[in-house]
Amino acid sequence: MKHKSVSVERIDRAIFNIRGQKVLLDRDLALLYQVTTKVLNQSVKRNISRFPDDFMFQLSREETVELVTNCDRFESLKHSSSLPYAFTEQGVAMLSSVLNSERAVEVNIQIMRAFVRLRQMLSTNVDLARKLEALEQKYDSQFRVVFDAIRALMAEPEKPKRTIGFTTKEKHTDYSAKQQ
């Protein structure tokens, strides 16, 4: 039986940076594998020796609150008594052997592709920054403006600040009393 394929973009949106690691949460993985979160976590607990701390960890209450605050789709976690599990790339790879289904294999292939693409993007930016720094050291200060412009293009755009208060559409009028 052929399942609907999973897009790499969908997986990209599900990857979070928690504790300095790129991870996928148990509930997102369950959706991708088309099983319930409970079934996924039961399978993991039955094979817990396959999931050391660098493959999987449980979020703290504080981490869960921060996740709920930043992502509306995790609103149901707000009052949940159980804390979610986070799976690193190696943990996700191990899940395919634990779940042992055709869907798990298909999804894992897509997840591995997403992780590889993410690593390639990060590597490209690091390489570009190194090359720019080497060029900057090679040329004199007259090119500083060019290097500053390139750095500005590489930086993430700042969010525009919201103005507080109100503005009027009328032209400025001098209401002060004129002295005669």
Pick the closest to residue 18 from 8, 28, 5 (CA basis): 28
Pick the closest to residue 77 from 59, 53, 52 (CA basis): 59
DSSP H helices, 139-165, are 144-154
Q: Does CATH number 3.40.50 belong to domain 8-118?
A: no
Q: State the average pLDDT over residues 138-155.
A: 64
For 36, the 3-state DSSP assignment is: coil
CB-based contact 108:93 (threshold 8 Å) = yes
Give the pLDDT confidence score for residue 51 in this predicted structure.
93
Give the pLDDT confidence score for residue 149 in this predicted structure.
67
Cα distance between residue 102 and residue 133, in whole Å: 47
Question: Could you tell me which residue, 89 or 159, shows the higher pLDDT?
Answer: 89
Give the pLDDT confidence score for residue 1 in this predicted structure.
43
Cα distance between residue 112 and residue 117, in whole Å: 9
Question: Could you tell me which residue, 2 or 118, shows the higher pLDDT?
Answer: 118
**Two structure tokens written together for 19:** 């504790």
Give the pLDDT confidence score for residue 33 in this predicted structure.
85
**What would the pLDDT profile of 87-115 be if each residue is shown by its tens digit?**
998 888 888 778 877 777 777 777 777 77
Question: pLDDT category, 166, cuts 50, 70, 90?
Answer: low
Q: Considering the entire predicted model, what is its pTM?
A: 0.59
Cα distance between residue 51 and residue 98, in whole Å: 10
**What would the pLDDT profile of 147-156 be if each residue is shown by its tens digit?**
666 667 666 6
